[in-house]
């Protein structure tokens, strides 16, 4: 946190004449402007990289502490966090109407955080403790987190009991594959390598094809069991992007595929925003199209 603590915003002074204009610092105007914007728009969230005092965003922090995020001395990482927040993550969580949908709604934000962690891997010094910790965090979520999170989230989201029963074996496959990868990740130390401008997370494990099949069953099949066309499209796109990443990037495909999956998670926003009322969703989407005349 910045040590500088500027004074709280004072009431606006009366307008000065042209002969004697009131002189104020630009950053104070920026801080006051953020507060005014936050008062008119409840969706405004402010992130800062340990510069709350020098930029006067502390005004906003004092007025709206629940919408203020101090990232610290990690400006590049802050950009990843901001992109994830602005793109889909928070918007999807705001669409939740029932508690059972919260885990599914958190998937886009989870992918945003996942990509932010890989940003830390890129920026950290080679062989440093920060890089070692962040690369393990990324690999554990990729190999062990998603095969449990996705089928479990869809299990809670699905209202049909019969469809939920069909998801149980797929969730079991995800638990087994996650445990399998976690064991071998620590049995054979995880290694990091840059290949063709992408990151390769390497650890050796036997039964490559059976383990990948179990992983695919847990991640890509559950959306296909849903009655929602948005979720079916999400599952089909995950499978297509998996094949594309595997045959195009080969050794680095886990990193590339997770990036594609993060982009595709916008379909989950569509499901929670419009899934229960397709006609209203279609009409609302038409409003974004340009109109002639």
Give CA–CA dist 1/117, Å, rounded: 21
Token pair recorded at residue 200 = 């390769």
Give residues with Cβ within 8 angstroms of 203, minimum separation 6.
139, 184, 185, 188, 189, 190, 191
Dihedral angle computed from the Cα positions of residues 280, 286, 288 and 293, in that order, rounded to the nearest 10 degrees: -140
> Per the domain annotation, does 19 fall within a domain?
no
Total number of domains in the chain: 2
User: What whole-number distance in Å separates Cα of residue 272 and Cα of residue 129?
Assistant: 39
Domain final residue pick, 66, 86, 117: 66
Q: Is residue 288 part of a domain?
A: no
Residues 146 and 236 in one domain: yes
pLDDT higher than 50, residue 172: yes
Q: Are residues 46 and 190 in the same domain?
A: no
Q: Residues with Cβ < 8 Å from 13, sequence gap 6 or more?
A: 22
Look at residue 121 and tell me if it is in a domain: yes
For 43, how many CA atoms within 13 A lie in the half-sphere containing its CB? 10
Residues 118 and 31 in one domain: no
132 burial type by CB count under 10 A (0-12 exposed, 13-18 middle, 19+ buried):
middle
Same domain, 61 and 145: no
Residue whose structure tokens are 């958190």: 106
- Are 30 and 173 found together in one domain? no
Strands 46-48 and 68-70, bridge-based pairing: parallel
- Mean local confidence (pLDDT), 138-160: 93
For residue 124, report the phi and psi dihedrals to the nearest 5 degrees. -75, 155
d(CA 118, CA 135) in angstroms, rounded, equals 7
From CA 91, how far away is CA 275, in angstroms rounded? 15
User: Phi and psi (nearest 5°) for 46?
Assistant: -110, 130
The DSSP element (H or E) to which 47 belongs, if any, is strand 46-48
Same domain, 116 and 232: yes
Least confident stretch, 53-57, 143-147, 280-284: 280-284
pLDDT at 12: 45
Among 41-45, 147-151, 236-240, 286-290, the minimum mean pLDDT is found in 286-290
Asked if 239 contacts 183 with a C-beta cutoff of 8 angstroms, the reply is no
Q: Is residue 120 domain-shared with residue 254, that is, in the same domain?
A: yes
Q: Which of 40-54, 124-138, 222-236, 244-258 has the highest mean pLDDT?
A: 222-236
In this prediction, residue 3 has a pLDDT band, given cuts at 50, 70 and 90, of very low
Q: Does residue 85 sit within a domain?
A: no
Query: 106 and 157, same structural domain?
Result: yes
What residue numbers bound the domain in which 54 lies? 26-66
Q: Give the distance from CA 283 to its chain's centroid.
A: 27
Q: Is 17 part of a structural domain of the chain?
A: no
Q: pTM score > 0.95 for this model?
A: no
Confidence label for 82 from pLDDT (cuts 50, 70 and 90): low
37 shares its domain with 107: no
Q: Are residues 33 and 131 in the same domain?
A: no
pLDDT level of residue 110 (50, 70, 90 thresholds): confident
Assess whether 113 and 225 both reside in one domain.
yes
Residue 142's pLDDT is: 92
Pair (110, 47) in one structural domain: no
Instruction: With respect to residue 91, please indicate whether it lies within any of the assigned structural domains.
Output: no
Is 104 a domain residue? yes
DSSP at 193: E
- Do the domain assignments include residue 153? yes
What is the sign of the dihedral through the CA atoms of 271, 275, 278 and 280? negative
């Amino acid at each position: 946190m910045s040590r500088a603590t500027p004074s709280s915003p004072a009431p606006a002074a009366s307008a000065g004449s042209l002969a004697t204009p009131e002189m104020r610092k630009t950053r104070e105007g920026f801080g006051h402007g953020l507060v005014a914007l936050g008062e008119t728009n409840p969706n405004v969230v402010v992130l800062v990289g340990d510069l709350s005092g020098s930029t006067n965003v502390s005004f906003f922090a004092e007025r709206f502490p629940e919408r203020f995020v101090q990232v610290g001395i990690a400006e590049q990482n802050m950009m990843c966090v901001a992109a994830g927040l602005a793109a889909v993550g928070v918007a999807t969580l705001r669409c939740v109407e029932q508690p059972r949908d919260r885990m599914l709604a958190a998937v886009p934000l989870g992918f945003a955080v996942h990509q932010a962690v890989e940003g830390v891997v890129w920026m950290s010094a080679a062989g440093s403790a920060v890089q070692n910790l962040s690369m393990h965090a990324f690999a554990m979520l990729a190999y062990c987190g998603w095969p449990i999170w996705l089928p479990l989230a869809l299990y809670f989201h699905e209202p049909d009991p019969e469809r939920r029963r069909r998801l149980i074996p797929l969730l079991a496959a995800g638990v087994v594959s996650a445990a399998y990868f976690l064991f071998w990740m620590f049995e054979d130390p995880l290694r990091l390598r840059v290949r063709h401008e992408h990151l390769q997370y390497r650890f050796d494990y036997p039964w490559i094809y059976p383990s990948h099949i179990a992983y695919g069953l847990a991640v890509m099949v559950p959306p296909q069991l849903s009655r929602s066309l948005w979720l079916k499209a999400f599952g089909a796109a995950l499978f297509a992007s998996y094949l594309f990443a595997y045959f195009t990037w080969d050794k680095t495909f886990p990193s590339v595929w997770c990036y594609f999956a993060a982009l595709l998670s916008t379909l989950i926003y569509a499901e929670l925003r419009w899934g229960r009322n397709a006609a209203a969703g279609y009409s609302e989407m038409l409003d974004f199209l340009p109109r002639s005349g």
